[in-house]
Structure 1
Amino acid sequence: MNSSGLQNRIIFIALAPVLVFGLVFTAWYTYQDLSQQNQAFSGRTQTAVQRLADGLAMPLQEGDTELVQALLRRALGERDARSVRLFDPFGSEWLHSGPTMVGPAYPHAIQDTTRLTLYESGETYRYLIPIYPPSDLQLRMSTSPPSGWLEVEFDYANTQVAHYRTILINSLMLVLGMLAVAGLAVWLSREISQPVRNMIETVDAIREGNLDARVDLKASGELHDLEVGINSMAETLKEAYEDMQNSVEQATQDLRETLETIEIQNIELDMARREAQQANQVKTEFLANMSHEIRTPLNGIIGFARLLDKSNLTRKQEDYVATILSSSQGLLTIINDVLDFCKIEAGKLMLDNRSTNLRETIEDVLVMLAPASQAKNLEVVSLYYSDVPEQLITDPLRLKQVLTNLVNNAIKFTPEGSIVVRTMIEQAQGNKVMVRISVTDTGIGLSKAEQKALFHAFSQADSSTAREFGGTGLGLVISKRLVEQMGGDIGLESVKNEGSTFWFNVKAEIAPAIQQPPKRTDLQGHTMAVVEPREMSRLALRHQAENWGIHCLEQQDLDELLSHLQDPEAERVDLALIDVAGFADDEQLYRKILKIERELNCPTLVLASTHEDDISYKLLEQGAQHYLSKPVRTQQLYQTLVSMLNPYSGGTSPEDAPLMLGSVRNAIRVLAVDDNAANLKLIVTLLESMGVLVDGVPSGEDAITAIQQTRYDLVFMDIQMPGMDGIEATQRMRRLEPAHQRMPIIALTAHALAEERQSMLDSGMDDYLTKPVDEDQLQRTLFKWTGATLQQDGQSPEAAFAHEETPDTLDIEDLQRLPVVDLVSGLEKASGKLGLARDMFAMLMDTLENDQSQINALYQQGDYKALLEQVHRLHGATHYCGVPRIQQTARHTESLLKQGHYAVLEDALFLLNEEITEVVRWHEENDRDQAFDQAVKVYAYQVQQKSGKKVTTG
């Protein structure tokens, strides 16, 4: 930096504000002084003129000319008075004293002047004032004519001189102030610039080769630190230079020696290269360790939050758990984005291409994001063109990642309207295709400038986007890199306030014909009426149905459908599909649907969003037979339509029936290994909830000991553990296991690098699960490697497996001996607290009928997982309310659901419905407060008999 430039800047910074403020304040004060001087001059002269006019009133009336002249001459003695004239009553000049007056003539006759009037020229002030008789002096105006007019002229020169003097003094003060500030600024700038100049000179000397140059330590503060730093740098450079000189001399000497010395140097260079590679490997391991250390606690948080969500919680507790899950998933998404970005930048991201059902992959994304879209009442539709093969060779995880990002962005930035996901073939050559997937929304859109900001790391279209919608700004960048790695491209088309279309295409191979889904022909030749108010959803449903060979009749509303069905000449309709979105939730809707199904004998499938569960429950309560939640999966819709047309076949053959989690075959035993106590407890809890026999150990050494003592069907192995890690433990297990009895070992890892999977497989592991782990992953892994836990829906428990656990039994006679309501038992559970017992019983009764409706609805839908959660909650609620019959039947039903005995579930639910009805009837027929008062007395008596003391309940 040029020191003179620094000095000039300091002086400018010091003088600029002083000059600006000095000019402003000097101008203001000068203006005030000049104004005051003008006001003083005007007031003084007006007073003198008025006083002279009053003094001339009496002499004029008496005709005393000498006195008048004397007064006029004396008036010239007033300060700045120049000339005086007196006019007679006719406006003619009568007397004059002093020089001729300056200035133009009057613009009107003198007789028109009735009050004091000022006539100002550039040099003088002239005042003209009428002189009234003495009797009118108090009024200043009179109906009688004036006795004459007085004109007095004052010289303005002295006032102008005073103005100049004021301006000169203020200007001098400004200049003196500026000089003082300038002097101070120059002094300060020298104090700063001189040390800087010294440092510059020293640096220049060092640059020219004078390594002995040093800065004199004269400054203070930060400049002193800079001087010390320069001296230290010079010292370091000198030492480095000396070291370099020594090295050069040593190298010269070595070159003069033998070839052996050169070989030694080559070895040293090779060692340096290996150290650099090792340093790069350390960075890679750090990334993997960071992934593990962050995801490991997150795995415990998310896993136990999911388990807690399935327990018997209050509404507020459910909200808290939902918040924990949402926040954890958000944090996990951010971590995944950052780690994926790091992997992409490091070139470590590898694709896992496998046979993938593209249609199901897209549907998985839409189902996962359904709560967010339905919360905003958005229409989300998937249009899968008929020429697109369903089974392709691609990376499903990365494909989901890209599509999830695009659809999630569309949901976030679309306040109302629709989102359409279109899948089509862009190019085909042999068994290789270029698939194009586009996401079109009706959201806020993007301007041209905002579009340019996309696809850049850590950037969004608008800086307010992150505050309003959240996000790291990495999603589209990662999506772009992933798509490019999959051999495609990504782009967008958008119009501000009209919507956007984000698209991407990827290269893929068509899977072999044997892996393609079979052609569905069970619905060919049938006619289906479609009542769908939303255009894009109606198009998607019709398109899919026509692919199955169904002829579709589109109806505008239920009344039009009823008219068509009641018309004997109209085209025959085999079944109806009705989307209740947009219809009012009233009895008319239920009656019309039931009339279509029962009176007109037209099987009806009702579609509703997940947030319209109240409608679905009421429909099922009224007797509707078929209901699906949106978004509907293609396979699910097909099986439902087939089962509606042929209710006895279930839509599939026994061989193709969907598999559901039931009882564990042959008492599957699993070993879980994890050094993190929370994660170990989570995996053990999840497996036990499925009926798996599981042992948990915290280290690789304990795992080796465990497999030597017990034979396990499968091992879940954590990778990163102190002491013996998961890879070493796996290798030792493989050496210990008998020949031809390979035990599946599944890695549990939070590692984010692609090469981790290959190293795990090379070490002897069979598969891996990425944390956080959920129940669905565990179920699929158990079925894949053990063939356990899965039996066909509807298959009898006896025929499932020879060693299957027998279902829990319920003695009907013992159940009938129990009271319908036992409030004394409820008081015992509440420790004698009457208020608590009342509240618990009231809470149960408030939700009992609604719980009953939901249980029945979930059973008719076949959603056994949700049904288990609902029955579990009811079972937990009955423990503290004194309803022993419901408690026993709920426990029995829950046990059947956990063991997978779905074939005998209907009888258990029949008993549960009966007991719920009995409790509701008891509540309607009895006075609850009176019953509690009686129960308090009985409870107090029982406690008194046991303890011999008087008991008070509260």
Structure 2
Amino acid sequence: MLKRYKEEFHGRKFQFILTDLKGVVLESDQHLLAVKEKELIGDVHPFFFSLPEIMQGDERTTSFHCVQLGDRTGELTTDITVEKVDKRLLVIIENLTDHYLSYQSIAQSRNESIIDSELILLKNHELQERERFKNEFIQNFSHELRNPLTNIIALTNILQRSNLNEEQTGILEVLKGSTSNLKLMLEDILSLAMISKGKLALNPTVFNFRQFIEFIRLTYTTRAQEKGLAFALTADEKIPEYIEGDRLRMLQIVTNLCDNAIKYTEKGKVALYIALNQKRANTINLRFGVKDTGQGIPEEKLETVLESFEQLGKSEGAGLGLAIVKGLLALMNAQIKIQSIENEGSHFYFDVTLKYPLHHQSTLLTSKHAVTHTSPKISKTPKKFKVLLVEDNEHVQTSLLKTLIDTGDFFIDLVGDGALVMQEIVNKHYDIVLMDVNLPNITGDQLAKVIRGLPFKNIKKIPIIGITANSYKEQIKAYKKAGMNIVLSKPFDDVELIKTMYKLLR
């Protein structure tokens, strides 16, 4: 039985051809190729033409690998061994077609896998480069916008304090509204860049949740009415009055969702609801949802609508709102979800876990966390303070000078070059220094470090307020470490500036 199997196997895999030294076939077993006795082996297949010449050398055995035989290329792939036996040539043909096909398939798969891996690496590199370029562009673009925006805000506030007729007041209100929107858009762009770079950190505090809700209700009831829409807000009464979280970022998320809903809704209503999912120990899980009766989102857009600069059709804005919502929620270990039917409306919702204080005194918390919007009280002291204003941008110089002069409390010296600051500081007495960080020749933070290192007590203790177009926390922290008491990021309100100066001069 075994002998029969061995013969069958050899019959499928091997063929033996015996020839003389000139290549004339003496005998063959006919298993793989049809071979006639007394014919030249070269007539069987062109490969064999040169065998007699090859075997004229001293080698007893010669092997050939991966030889294609048969009527069609690739029909039969073999290994061939030729041996000299008693002045004859023994040609042994081994059929390895399946082996070579398998090897070729494996090699091809491996090559394709390598190519795919390389393509993935190239694509990832390309995406990283695109992301890096985008973030750098956003950062530089927002940086360049801050100086002119600071000027606009300052000059608008100065105009508001002047005598204006009714028409001029109306124009000024429109200008202030547009400036406010531009400022918010700039902050959105910066937030997006900080999220992408992993530099945005949450700042959780205890805040009055009911006041938070009421602020949103008043804001969006008015905005919806301006567009002829209804706005409804419902909140679970079991939600604690005070909760702990990043109020600013929570407000940014909710307002972006509400703004987005109102933007894409032409008739009907927008509804914001806040439901209590779970309350355990001192943690609370809330669901925020915004529903609208707007144009809805096509199914193919549901994934991309959360990406940066994506918009549905033609609309105002930069298409950043939902991307910021997505990024901020990721920092809170939450995720935005969408349900939408085209031409019927959309539903955006998310679940977020926050904390709340188990024991508190409402009056203390209210006092501590209440938000005030009153202007700083102008100093009534007869003394005027001496201010060194260090700023190289002429337009910012003009707006800051006008703001400081209008208080009536300051004498001001102006320097536009960082290299001249030390000369002024040493030769004159100043009560406070207002200094831009980005100055020609030497930066403001470097100057602050030098001033703090001087041996003269009256100089090294001068309060320094830094103003900068940079807003990353790491940068602000570095400027303060260099010696600046307080750093204001452009664009800032003139009320904020004056209030900060009085705080340091007390």
TM-score range (shorter-chain normalised) is 0.5 to 0.7
Q: Aligned-pair distance for 1:765?
A: 2.6
Q: Aligned-pair distance for 1:749?
A: 1.8
- Of 462, 485, 488 in structure 1, the residue corresponding to residue 334 of structure 2 is 488
Q: Deviation string for 1:725-753 (max 9, x for gaps)?
A: 12112212323473899554333222143
Q: Deviation string for 1:234-284 (max 9, x for gaps)?
A: xxxxxxxxxxxxxxxxxxxxxxxxxxxxxxxxxxxxxxxxxxxxxx99998
Q: Deviation string for 1:267-315 (max 9, x for gaps)?
A: xxxxxxxxxxxxx999988765543222212221233234334433455
Greater RCO, 1 or 2 (C-alpha within 8 Å, sep 6+): 2
What is the distance in 2 between the residues matched to 1:503 and 1:746? 42
The structure whose residues are more often strand, as a share, is 2
Spell out the pairing of 1:253-264 with structure 2 (5 A cutoff).
Answer: none
Q: Deviation string for 1:888-910 (max 9, x for gaps)?
A: xxxxxxxxxxxxxxxxxxxxxxx
Q: Aligned-pair distance for 1:481?
A: 0.8
Partner of 1:415: 266
Q: Say whether 1:470 aligns with 2:470.
A: no
SS at match of 1:680: helix
What is the distance in 2 between the residues matched to 1:316 and 1:476? 37
CA contact (8 A) 1:289 1:751 kept: no
- Of 474, 479, 486 in structure 1, the residue corresponding to residue 325 of structure 2 is 479
SS at match of 2:306: coil
Q: Structure 1 residues 676, 658: CA separation in 2 closer, same or farther (over 3 Å shift)?
A: closer
Q: Deviation string for 1:73-128 (max 9, x for gaps)?
A: xxxxxxxxxxxxxxxxxxxxxxxxxxxxxxxxxxxxxxxxxxxxxxxxxxxxxxxx
Partner of 2:402: 685
Q: Aligned-pair distance for 1:777?
A: 2.9
Partner of 2:449: 731
- Of 656, 662, 671 in structure 1, the residue corresponding to residue 377 of structure 2 is 662
Q: Aligned-pair distance for 1:699?
A: 4.1
SS at match of 1:489: coil
Partner of 1:759: 478
CA contact (8 A) 2:270 2:291 kept: yes
Return 374-383 or 480-489, whichever deviates more: 374-383
Spell out the pairing of 1:826-865 with structure 2 (5 A cutoff).
Answer: none
Partner of 2:467: 748
Q: Aligned-pair distance for 1:771?
A: 1.4
Q: Deviation string for 1:607-658 (max 9, x for gaps)?
A: xxxxxxxxxxxxxxxxxxxxxxxxxxx989xxxxxxxxxxxxxxxxxxxx99
Q: Say whether 1:717 aligns with 2:432.
A: no
Partner of 2:492: 773
Spell out the pairing of 1:614-653 with structure 2 (5 A cutoff).
Answer: none
Partner of 2:251: 400
What is the distance in 1 between the residues matched to 2:264 and 2:144? 34
Q: Structure 1 residues 406, 711: CA separation in 2 closer, same or farther (over 3 Å shift)?
A: same
Partner of 1:349: 200
SS at match of 1:720: coil
Q: TM-score, normalised by structure 2?
A: 0.60
CA contact (8 A) 1:337 1:475 kept: yes
What is the distance in 1 between the residues matched to 2:351 and 2:228? 29
CA contact (8 A) 2:334 2:351 kept: yes
CA contact (8 A) 1:745 1:767 kept: yes
Partner of 2:21: none
Q: Structure 1 residues 423, 282: CA separation in 2 closer, same or farther (over 3 Å shift)?
A: closer
Q: Aligned-pair distance for 1:660?
A: 6.3
What is the distance in 1 between the residues matched to 2:333 and 2:361? 23
| Unaligned 5+ runs, structure 2 | 1-130
- Of 111, 125, 146 in structure 2, the residue corresponding to residue 295 of structure 1 is 146
For 2:191, give the aligned amino acid: D
Q: Structure 1 residues 321, 519: CA separation in 2 closer, same or farther (over 3 Å shift)?
A: closer
Q: Quote the RMSD (CA, aligned, Å).
A: 4.2
Q: Aligned-pair distance for 1:476?
A: 0.4
Q: Aligned-pair distance for 1:455?
A: 0.9
CA contact (8 A) 1:392 1:509 kept: yes
What is the distance in 2 between the residues matched to 1:780 and 1:491? 42
What is the distance in 1 between the residues matched to 2:419 and 2:334? 47
Partner of 2:391: 674
Q: TM-score, normalised by structure 1?
A: 0.34
- Of 344, 369, 373 in structure 1, the residue corresponding to residue 224 of structure 2 is 373
Q: Say whether 1:500 aligns with 2:217.
A: no
| Unaligned 5+ runs, structure 1 | 1-279, 521-633, 637-656, 788-954
CA contact (8 A) 2:452 2:460 kept: no
Spell out the pairing of 1:191-206 with structure 2 (5 A cutoff).
Answer: none
CA contact (8 A) 1:483 1:505 kept: no
Q: Structure 1 residues 472, 513: CA separation in 2 closer, same or farther (over 3 Å shift)?
A: same
Spell out the pairing of 1:553-952 with structure 2 (5 A cutoff).
Answer: 661-664=376-379, 666=381, 667=383, 669=385, 671-693=388-410, 695=412, 697=414, 698-705=416-423, 707-708=425-426, 709-712=428-431, 714-736=432-454, 738=457, 742-778=461-497, 781-782=500-501, 785=504
CA contact (8 A) 1:391 1:515 kept: no
Q: Structure 1 residues 726, 430: CA separation in 2 closer, same or farther (over 3 Å shift)?
A: farther
Q: Aligned-pair distance for 1:449?
A: 4.5
Q: Structure 1 residues 439, 776: CA separation in 2 closer, same or farther (over 3 Å shift)?
A: farther
Q: Structure 1 residues 297, 659: CA separation in 2 closer, same or farther (over 3 Å shift)?
A: closer
Q: Aligned-pair distance for 1:676?
A: 1.4
Q: Which has the larger radius of gyration?
A: 1
What is the distance in 2 between the residues matched to 1:292 and 1:519? 36
Partner of 1:146: none
What is the distance in 1 between the residues matched to 2:379 and 2:255? 34
What is the distance in 1 between the residues matched to 2:464 and 2:280? 40
| Paired-residue identity, % | 29
Q: Structure 1 residues 511, 415: CA separation in 2 closer, same or farther (over 3 Å shift)?
A: same
What is the distance in 1 between the residues matched to 2:287 and 2:407? 40
SS at match of 2:397: helix
What is the distance in 1 between the residues matched to 2:151 and 2:251? 24
State how many pairs are aligned. Answer: 369
What is the distance in 1 between the residues matched to 2:457 and 2:488? 25
What is the distance in 2 between the residues matched to 1:738 and 1:384? 57
CA contact (8 A) 2:138 2:189 kept: no
Q: Say whether 1:305 aligns with 2:151.
A: no
CA contact (8 A) 1:288 1:753 kept: no
SS at match of 1:350: coil
For 1:680, give the aligned amino acid: Q
